[in-house]
Amino acid sequence: MSAEAVGNAVVRDAARLPSREPERPRIRPLRLMVAWLLSAAALLFAAWVVPGVSIEGRGGALLAAAVIAILNAVLPPLLATLRLPYTLLFGFVLVLVLDAVMFWLAARITDAISIDSISVDSFWSALFAAFVASAASSVLDPLFRTNDDETYTLRVTQRIARRTGGQTRTDEPGIVFLEIDGLALPVLRRALRDGNAPEMARWLAAGSHVLTEWETDLSSQTGASQAGILLGSNDDIPAFRWVEKESGRTMTCSKPDDCAEIERRRATGVGLLKGGGASRGNLLSGEAEHTILTVSRIAEEKRANPGYRVFFANGFNVTRVLVLFFWEVILEWTAAARSARRDVRPRGLRGGAYPFMRAAMCIVVRDLIVYGVLSDMMKGRPVVYATFSSYDEVAHHSGLERADTLEALRKLDEQFRRIERARRYAPRPYELVVLSDHGQTQGATFRQRNGYDLAELVGRSVATGGASALATGEENDAMVGNAVQEATGSTSARDGTAAEVGSRTAVVLASGNLGLVYLMEEARRLTLEEIDERHPRLIRALREHPHVGFVLARSSASGPVALGARGARSLVDDTIEGEDPLASFSPNAARHLLRTDGFAHAPDLLVNSFYDPTLDEGCAFEELISFHGGLGGAQTRPFILHPLGLPAPAEPIVGAAAVHALLTGWRAALQSSVPRREGPLAGVAAAAE
């Protein structure tokens, strides 16, 4: 039977399934007993470490652990019902205070715990003790695999979903899309083979899921990919950052205001998450009704957001996250020192704020999103799309397949196991789809290879005025920084480039190995001939540089052309003079460049780094040793890991809009309320029906 026939059978049979009653997570007495003993041991350790805190023997520790567990079951869920502005900020602070209060109350209720005098100092002692106990539990729980906390989380999540209204009970399947930012198909295959993604490997081995490759657009980065996947269009997004010359505005796919504008321009009522869906940790909302940490709608975080309720309903979550956060910082410092000691090449910049940004992505943001997804499933929401950026974040600085990068992937795979296990407790059946928005390619940076960056090269090659590199930097740092600033009430800083752009002869923006050069003497795009006349050294300096693969320009005589060191290729009639500058890149490279050339805000010159297929390496124009944004290597080779009953089309999937058509086609096949896709991509969607 073909994949399409299997899909048709599964969809038809779903309507005849008997009404299902969601299971309730079972409490296993033995596991509960072990968890109780471990909690008592953690309290004894905290009392030993924290001055001014003592516990009366093992029996006292057991009693104290029981009292704290009862308080945790009562007080945090009450706090989680409060509708607080800046929920993320105030929730963290209040639950952290509540952890100390619960420890202090346990001391007052029983004689098992002794804390020095009732004072401000005693509060800090209680807080520190709760923190240390959480750290000890974080070490002990994985060793004994009690799984008690997961059971408790699911029971609380079910209870909150029922009591807060809006729960949907139906036999109509929902879909959960889990995006691993930046993971290429070749890297995933090796991770599956080598045991670094055991849960996804289990799905494949069981035959429930299959892997399908798709090819990104140009540019190969999250902003363009998510616009296409979630909204159905990523037209006129030439890179992660671009200049709109008519207004002097610099657009960035991580700024809340800019993401809101990107979504406003492209939202046409066909969003993937329209009709009760949930967006978790994305750049764009996909027209979802429910959002957390979604950059285009991050202003909503200033109001009360019930999406965090499940996370804050367990008082241990905040202290555990803080413990794991600081542990992740230590792991990064250790890995960076080991990499420097061994002189690993290429080696990225790993100091400054990066260790804390890595910890935020790998621990805090990841856990908030996981709890959001679990909450959505217990609510029975029809579709959820969640982005996990920890792999992408670590790979940028550590490398594609270094030990700490693969560990970040393994931890994500572990979270997917939690989500998969939660399906049986949801009020509707769910299909799980894991996908990536792009891959990454690796290599020493342009600056590391040459001692100067692309902006400096352009600056000394233009006739007058020099060039300025504006708003360059790592995309997820900006994404997380702005999202957290908005979510916690801090001022969200813009690049401040709009006022500066007009005073520059040239503006150079980096997006991985894609460089955009805007010549600001005109409010329109300059032709190849005009650039040669005004800046006779510029194009030659770029196209002949050994670490530049090609330069895209528009000729007034022959239209768009890709220029290389020893040849040129016309994108209109596909004629080649000399050597083809696109020979080392994707067979669809000319198609992607022709599309980008048609964008209203295409740069005067688009520069792509070299790509060596033998060594599988290129170079970024920003300081990232693993990168994406342009063409060359695995950065354009993401994947979709999907149930066998939701088949992919037979023809290659090229472009994020085609992925949108496929995913909305799956929704339409499973959910009667979703209209079937019409238009030129309807054939792609039809493969799911």
Contacts of 462 (CB under 8 A, 6+ apart): 505, 506, 519, 535, 537, 538
Angle, in degrees to the nearest 10, between helices 198-206 and 403-422? 60
Q: Is 679's pLDDT higher than 50?
A: no
Among 130, 543, 521, which residue's Cα sits nearest to residue 322?
130
Which tokens is 656 given?
């994020």
Q: Is residue 595 part of a domain?
A: yes
pLDDT at position 563 is 97
Domain boundary (109, 130, 146) is at 146
Q: Is 471's pLDDT higher than 50?
A: no
Contacts of 509 (CB under 8 A, 6+ apart): 239, 241, 242, 243, 250, 469, 470, 471, 472, 515, 516, 518, 603
**Three-state DSSP string of 506-544:** EEEEEECCEEEEEECCCCCCCCHHHHHHHCCCHHHHHHC
Alpha-carbon gap, residue 500 to 496, rounded angstroms: 7
Q: Is residue 465 part of a domain?
A: yes
Q: Is residue 439 part of a domain?
A: no
**Positive or negative: CA dihedral 340, 346, 349, 355:** negative
pLDDT at position 304 is 80
Question: Are 320 and 134 a contacting pair, CB within 8 Å?
Answer: yes
Domain of 621 in residue numbering reads as 446-472+503-632
Angle, in degrees to the nearest 10, between helices 316-341 and 87-109? 110
Alpha-carbon gap, residue 635 to 78, rounded angstroms: 46
Number of Cβ within a 10 Å radius of residue 340:
11
List, for residues 570-617, the tens digit of each pLDDT value: 999 999 999 999 999 999 999 999 999 999 999 999 999 999 999 999
pLDDT at position 117 is 54
Q: Is 534's pLDDT higher than 50?
A: yes
Alpha-carbon gap, residue 257 to 478, rounded angstroms: 13
Per-residue DSSP letters for 154-221? HHHHHHHHHHTS-----SSPEEEEEEETT--HHHHHHHHHHTSSHHHHHHHHHTSEEEEEEE--SS-S
Each residue of 184-213: b (16+ CB within 10 Å) or e? bbbbbeebbeeebbebbbebeeeeebbbbe
Which tokens is 505 given?
């002869």
What are the beta bridge partners of residue 516? Answer: 509, 606
Domain boundary (116, 146, 176) is at 146
List, for residues 141-192, the tens digit of each pLDDT value: 777 665 566 777 888 888 888 888 888 899 999 999 999 999 999 999 999 9
Contacts of 532 (CB under 8 A, 6+ apart): 539
Domain boundary (597, 612, 632) is at 632
Instruction: Kindly state the DSSP code that residue 81 receives in the 8-state scheme.
Output: T
Q: Is residue 511 part of a domain?
A: yes
- For residue 551, give the amino acid letter: V
Q: Name the band, by pLDDT with cuts 50, 70 and 90, for residue 558.
A: very high
Number of domains, the chain: 2
Q: Which residue would you say has higher pLDDT here, 283 or 128?
A: 283
- For residue 159, give the amino acid letter: R
Which tokens is 167 given?
């729960």
Angle, in degrees to the nearest 10, between helices 148-163 and 57-80? 30
Q: By three-state DSSP, how is residue 351 classified?
A: coil
Q: By three-state DSSP, how is residue 348 classified?
A: coil
**Mean pLDDT throughout 633-661?**
96
Phi and psi for 564 in degrees, rounded to 5?
A: -120, 180
Sheet holding 576-578, edge to edge: 467-469, 506-511, 514-519, 605-609, 548-555, 559-564, 567-570, 576-578
pLDDT at position 20 is 61
pLDDT at position 483 is 56
**Positive or negative: CA dihedral 260, 261, 266, 268:** positive
Q: Name the band, by pLDDT with cuts 50, 70 and 90, for residue 684.
A: very low
pLDDT at position 126 is 82
What are the beta bridge partners of residue 618? Answer: 611
Which tokens is 291 given?
């959002």
Alpha-carbon gap, residue 56 to 50, rounded angstroms: 15
Which tokens is 441 given?
């390619």
Q: What's the distance, CA 141 to chain centroid?
A: 27
Q: Name the band, by pLDDT with cuts 50, 70 and 90, for residue 492.
A: very low
- What integer best gives the mean pLDDT of the chain? 86
Q: Is 638's pLDDT higher than 80?
A: yes
Among 501, 593, 469, 509, which residue's Cα sits nearest to residue 219?
593
Question: Are 509 and 242 a contacting pair, CB within 8 Å?
Answer: yes
Which tokens is 514 given?
């894609």
Q: Which residue would you say has higher pLDDT here, 221 or 101?
A: 221
List, for residues 356-394, the tens digit of each pLDDT value: 999 999 999 999 999 999 999 999 999 999 999 999 999
Phi and psi for 590 in degrees, rounded to 5?
A: -65, -40
Alpha-carbon gap, residue 296 to 609, rounded angstroms: 30
- According to DSSP, the β-strands at 249-252 and 209-215 are unpaired
Question: Residue written as tokens 């009653």?
Answer: 21
Number of Cβ within a 10 Å radius of residue 218:
28
Q: Is 2's pLDDT higher than 50?
A: no
Which tokens is 626 given?
């693993």
Q: Is 444's pLDDT higher than 60?
A: yes
Alpha-carbon gap, residue 87 to 303, rounded angstroms: 7
List, for residues 279-328, the tens digit of each pLDDT value: 999 999 999 999 999 999 988 888 888 888 889 988 888 888 998 999 99
pLDDT at position 195 is 96
Q: For the chain, what percent of residues have pLDDT higher than 90? A: 61
Q: Is residue 73 part of a domain?
A: yes
Among 515, 472, 534, which residue's Cα sits nearest to residue 605?
515
Q: Is 682's pLDDT higher than 80?
A: no
Q: Is residue 523 part of a domain?
A: yes
Which element (helix H / strand E) includes 317? helix 316-341
Which tokens is 653 given?
């999937």
Q: Is residue 531 part of a domain?
A: yes
Query: In 238-329, where do the E strands start and end?
Result: 241-244, 249-252, 278-280, 290-292
Q: Name the band, by pLDDT with cuts 50, 70 and 90, for residue 473.
A: very low
Q: Is residue 48 part of a domain?
A: yes
- According to DSSP, the β-strands at 567-570 and 559-564 are antiparallel
Alpha-carbon gap, residue 623 to 347, rounded angstroms: 10
Alpha-carbon gap, residue 57 to 54, rounded angstroms: 9
Cα within 13 Å of Cα(275), Cβ side: 16
**Mean pLDDT throughout 403-409?**
95
pLDDT at position 146 is 58
- Alpha carbon separation from 173 to 12, 15, 429, 432, 664 (Å, rounded): 12, 10, 5, 10, 14
Instruction: Kindly state the DSSP code that residue 646 receives in the 8-state scheme.
Output: S
Question: Are 243 and 655 a contacting pair, CB within 8 Å?
Answer: no
